[in-house]
Structure 1
Amino acid sequence: MVEFFGCRLNSTLFKGANLHKARFSGCFSSDDYTPTDFSGAISKDVSVVDSHLHYQADEFIGEFDYIDDNFWMGGSPESKWPDVVAAAATETLSDRNDVRYNAAAKLGDLDNPIVAPILACLLADDEWDVRSIALETLGNLRHQEFPQGDNILLHWMFLQHFRML
């Protein structure tokens, strides 16, 4: 009964975990990196919302509840994030701060609040310029409500603003 919110999940091992009633909201694992490993995980009543999860699941026990069409679980191309969103989100994983900066700007240009948790992850980036563009981009997306965790994201934005002062 845990919620994973805005998590970057490439290379994460849930191998053999009991994910009973877990919820993945706004989570991301890129198709270009090591998949999330759900092998042997027990997944009764797991929900995935507004997420893009590249995963492996040998001997997967249970199934995921599909809440809406804004996620992808490996083999369902009709329900994965648009390629442009996944590509920009993948760039946020770069070791180079200029690439992460440009990725945040690209995600903001999409004007889709589904990217808010990915941008929120960048609020903790080591580079001030990446944190700054992520905060600015999240602020620009505020003309619409964030579909998952609106209050959580506002709290992160508020705390980040004072961290940057």
Structure 2
Amino acid sequence: MFSPSKRTTSSSRAQVLLTWKPDKAQSGPRNAEKETLASRLLRDAETCRQNFRNFPYPDLAGPRKALNQLRELCLKWLRPEIHSKEQILELLVLEQFLSILPGEVRTWVKSQYPKSSEEVVTLVEDLTQILEEEGKACKGRERRSPGWSEKTAITSESSPLR
């Protein structure tokens, strides 16, 4: 099974990382069920977070009712009856960290359903390193052939002397 923290050597490492999905055949049916349940719980928590964050002020209901609804949404998201103070703090810091990531990185990281801030950091570090290595490889190819240009490539491809 490919783990997101492993580094690969192919030129399409970023694509592999971006399309990574756990191999359910290797994980067995019991682990697949746990993974599905964990993913569902994370999606539900994300839905509750979005409901809380996107709650509009209802003009007709009044401020007291709006505050009570907002409090209920917050409780559904943070679930203080089962989460410790540290876990709630982790959720808040993780949400803020995700909000400061560049858009495409944030979207990709969220699609991986990370379970902790440490997992988020590992995903971002791995993706950043892969993209930097690919950027260096592209610059290295440009340096090795300084006379190459798009015009040269078109001319050489259409040339009858191959």
User: Between Structure 1 and Structure 2, whose CA radius of gyration is higher?
Assistant: 2
Q: Which has the higher helix share?
A: 2
State TM-score, norm by structure 1.
Answer: 0.25
Say which structure, 1 or 2, has more relative contact order (CA 8 Å, 6+ apart): 2
